Chain A
Amino acid sequence: MDNQSKFNFKHNVEKGLADSELRSNLKFATNTLRAKRKALFADPEETHALRETGRNIKARVLSRLPKLLGKLEKNCIRNGIRVHWAETTDEANQLVLEIMDKHGAAKMVKGKSMVSEEMHLNSFLEKKGKTPLETDLGEFIIQLNNEPPSHIIVPAVHKNRRQIARIFADKIPGATYTEDVDTLLKTARKILREHYRTAHIGLSGVNFAVAETGTLCLVENEGNGRMCTTVPPVHVALMGLEKVVEKLEDVPPLYRLLCGSATGQRITTYFNMITGPRKKGERDGPTEVHLIILDNGRSKILADGQLQETLRCIRCGTCLNHCPVYTRIGGHAYQSTYPGPIGTILMPQLEGLDKKGALVTASSLCNACEEVCPVMIPIPELIRRLRNEHWDMDKKGVLKGRGSKKSILEALVWKTWKFTCTIPWINRIQLKLMGLSGGFLPEIGPLKAWTSVRTKPVFSKKSLKDLAKKEGIRHG
């Protein structure tokens, strides 16, 4: 399912819901992740205080964003990191390609990076004759099967062991079918370690970039991130410009929030802090470190006092695990880099309501996402804001594609409804007519969809108003 093909959300949802294997895989995985998070954040008061700290740290960052980015750039350059700026994903792709070409590099080992997914970096590089290799085990599995990730943290969450065993057997030369996870892992380990040893360039994302020190922080469990950033001679780091934090002291609470929310761990296996390329006398590490800072619409999001709350996101993925919609339809249905509640608010802002507006329907506004969000993003409120913009309700929208759902017929219906409720004699006629015709509502349009799974509403012959009158109830 590639991102470029036409986006038909309704079709995707139906397909996701009908896939019972997918649904049981998702149910199992998200239940596990939720239980783990709950066990770690067992004390509600403590958790609330920690989330408040996280929110305030990120909110403060946004209030000083240009200043902090300037500081980050200055300190990174001082540390020997080469800093590049990209307004669009095209520019960022081009920058990666230029760095690869400059070093005559053909093979790239990649640590997990959502920004690289946002850029569609793999397909771009493949078209240019390069070999990008995903090394995170989940990403490795789905790259073998030529699929995009379906979860921010657990990219292959939609696959079970049997499906993964099949992918290994079909796509890896010489591999035989086995459901033994240990054997699968050994196969991957052997292939990947050979790639680390021979790759020309390593790529990674960035979880936190510390402005005060010019440090890039990477959070991971597998060690593939350390491999990608340490073994190859060149390291390229990609970050969205909202990933900057002010001071090193800001990192521990955000780190705890990130790993606790993502996987329910107190701490991940590796917390990797990089301040620059190999210094004179050092025996390993890349000789060049590049940092590409991507905007891709983020500076526009910052310009809106409400929508900018989206930029506090630390990409933990816990809103996905808690969402009654995501956990049933899966990540691929969103056909977007970021699925789940965060994707619902972020994608229409990045790509426009005309393209990704359908995503804002993927919510029952149950509030679960907001309750667990480590940086307290009011996701349901932002969904409502986007829905309003989608229909251009208050005519104050700022997003690309605002009002793309607006229809004259619908506006007319609401206008008429207003009259029937505010002008007494029209109201009387309407009630009479509905009493007479209510039993014969034609099953077309929205009513057809509604009645496909529900009984058709039938209006009473007499209105409540008439009945009240008859009973002698008076008001006022």
Chain B
Amino acid sequence: MGKPNSRENIFSRLNKAVRTVPAWYPDPSPWEPARLTPKERISQFKELMTAGRSEVYPVKGDEWVAQLKKILHERRINTLTYGPETEIGKVLATEWETNDGSTRLIPWNNTIETFRDELFKIDAGITSTMGGIADGAALILWPTPEEPRLLSLVPPVHFALVRADKIFASFTEAIKKLDWAKKAPTNSLLISGPSRTADIEMILQFGVHGPTDLIVLVVE
């Protein structure tokens, strides 16, 4: 598609033009925000996530299920979707089997083409994460076939589980430690809060297209 010689024309102009560029440039000095101890990371992560209007709940080990159920019950969330093959998915399924709450659990089993209309009506979604970053702060999400991309976007409430020992100091550090350039999936994300806008009179508003609430469970 397009004109067959557009590419050649552009490259021939660029190759000619690039000769006018100075031969040497100072190398960019690496930029890295302050290094933090693991403890500082966790506290900064919690502080900045909260400042960005996310709700952060620290929980111990398996207690996250109880915390989740408590929030679901308090907010009268009717439906929750999740990836059934993931680790947290299995925990959820077992929990709901033995102790069904008022919230209906909806597994995401199909492709978006069959699931789309249902997904747009669901109240909440839950995902695991690759960790978080303290400088920012944000969650790191690497969606997988078992835990698709839209789980963290379409439902108005997004629950995310972060392991406290997976909170990195910065984006730069996360890129190195996770070997992001080589290992990242089709879509990888940083998420620092609920969907927001200030397009009307600079007034900060939440939940314009995606989640109105981001609830982070930090598993320590």
**Chain A partners chain B:** yes
Per-residue CB contact flags for chain A residues 153-175 toward chain B (1 = under 8 Å, else 0) read 01110001100100000000000
Point out residues on B near A: beta carbons under 8 Å: 1-3, 6-7, 9-11, 13-18, 20-23, 25-31, 48, 52, 108, 110-113, 115-117, 120, 135-138, 145, 148-150, 153-154, 170-172, 175-176, 180-181, 184-203, 205, 207-211
CB distance A269 to B13 under 8 Å? no
CB distance A285 to B149 under 8 Å? yes
The verdict on A269 contacting B14 (CB below 8 Å), with A85-B7, A192-B209, A222-B209 known, is no
Q: How far, in whole Å, are A247 and B27 apart by their CA atoms in the complex?
A: 13
Q: Which of A141, A210, A284, A305 has the most CB of B within 10 A?
A: A284
Chain B residue nearest in CB terms to A293: B10
The verdict on A304 contacting B13 (CB below 8 Å), with A135-B209, A231-B112 known, is no
Per-residue CB contact flags for chain A residues 338-379 toward chain B (1 = under 8 Å, else 0) read 000000000000000000000000000000000000000000
The verdict on A274 contacting B136 (CB below 8 Å), with A53-B29, A308-B20 known, is no
A413 in the interface, Cβ–Cβ < 8 Å? Answer: no
8 Å CB contact of A227 from B117, B153, B198: B153
CB distance A213 to B7 under 8 Å? no
A392 in the interface, Cβ–Cβ < 8 Å? Answer: no
CB distance B7 to A303 under 8 Å? no
A/B pair count, beta carbons within 8 Å? 260
Q: Which residues of A contact B26 (CB under 8 A)?
A: 56
Interface residues of A in 51-73 (CB under 8 A from B): 52-54, 56-57, 59-60, 62-66, 69-70
8 Å CB contact of A282 from B148, B170, B210: B148
Q: How far, in whole Å, are A299 and B171 apart by their CA atoms in the complex?
A: 32
CB distance A215 to B184 under 8 Å? yes
The verdict on A284 contacting B120 (CB below 8 Å), with A222-B196, A266-B135 known, is no
Q: How far, in whole Å, are A213 and B1 apart by their CA atoms in the complex?
A: 24
Q: Which of A63, A224, A252 has the most CB of B within 10 A?
A: A252
A457 in the interface, Cβ–Cβ < 8 Å? Answer: no
Q: Which residues of B contact A104 (CB under 8 A)?
A: none
CB distance A56 to B211 under 8 Å? no
Per-residue CB contact flags for chain A residues 233-268 toward chain B (1 = under 8 Å, else 0) read 100000001000001111111011000000100111
CB distance B187 to A272 under 8 Å? yes
CB distance A269 to B195 under 8 Å? yes
A98 in the interface, Cβ–Cβ < 8 Å? Answer: yes
CB distance B21 to A63 under 8 Å? yes
CB distance B116 to A197 under 8 Å? yes
Per-residue CB contact flags for chain A residues 206-221 toward chain B (1 = under 8 Å, else 0) read 0000101101000001
A283 in the interface, Cβ–Cβ < 8 Å? Answer: yes
A381 in the interface, Cβ–Cβ < 8 Å? Answer: no
Q: How far, in whole Å, are A282 and B55 apart by their CA atoms in the complex?
A: 30
Q: How far, in whole Å, are A154 and B145 apart by their CA atoms in the complex?
A: 36
Q: How far, in whole Å, are A156 and B191 apart by their CA atoms in the complex?
A: 25
Per-residue CB contact flags for chain A residues 36-64 toward chain B (1 = under 8 Å, else 0) read 00000000000001101110110110111
CB distance B200 to A181 under 8 Å? yes
The verdict on A275 contacting B187 (CB below 8 Å), with A252-B175, A302-B18 known, is yes
Chain B residue nearest in CB terms to A98: B1
CB distance B192 to A267 under 8 Å? yes
Q: Which residues of B contact A277 (CB under 8 A)?
A: 186
A450 in the interface, Cβ–Cβ < 8 Å? Answer: no
Kindly list 8 other residue pairs between chains A and B, CB separation below 8 angstroms, not including A56-B26, A185-B205, A283-B145: A62-B18, A69-B14, A85-B10, A86-B2, A230-B153, A252-B171, A270-B191, A302-B18
